[in-house]
Amino acid sequence: MNKVEAIIKPFKLDDVREALSEIGIAGMTATEVKGFGRQKGHTELYRGAEYVVDFLPKVKIEVVIEAGKVDECIEAITNAAHTGKIGDGKIFVTAVERVVRIRTGEEGPAAI
């Protein structure tokens, strides 16, 4: 099993959720986060004063899936979250050793 984490623009969350549903991924966790990369940040004007916004709002999506679905998951997220502009985000894939469903005690792929 693998965990796929994607950092995307907030307005792309619904598109990504729909794309994952279409390929049979039924569950995910989404968290509002802030960060920056090459996009850096930007300056804004508030009541006549200019200030720098260093951390930009993003959404972090986490999905745990069977190893065989990772490429399909990455493709779905990439296609749904792509705008072609800087700050589209990143996808990280890590190995998951064990998954346990708290309610039933099921483990492994049955617990996803």
Q: What is the mean pLDDT of residues 7-34?
A: 96
pLDDT of residue 39: 64
Q: How far apart are the C-alpha atoms of 81 and 15, rounded to whole Å?
A: 7
Picking from 60, 64, 72, 61, the residue whose alpha carbon sits closest to that of residue 99 is 64
The CA-to-CA distance between both ends of the chain, in Å, stands at 10
**What CATH number is associated with residue 81?**
3.30.70.120
Cα separation values, 23 from 15, 66, 69, 73, 106, Å: 13, 13, 9, 8, 23
What is the total count of domains within the chain? 1
pLDDT of residue 38: 72
Q: What is the pTM of this model?
A: 0.85
pLDDT of residue 59: 97
Could you tell me the two tokens for 64? 């745990």
Task: Please indicate whether residue 17 or residue 34 has the higher confidence score (pLDDT).
Answer: 17
Q: What is the mean pLDDT of the chain?
A: 91
Question: What are the pLDDT digits (tens) for 26-67?
Answer: 899 999 998 877 766 666 667 777 767 677 889 999 999 999
Q: How far apart are the C-alpha atoms of 22 and 96, rounded to whole Å?
A: 23
Its domain, for residue 46, covers 2-111
**Angle CA 85–25–10, to nearest 5:** 30
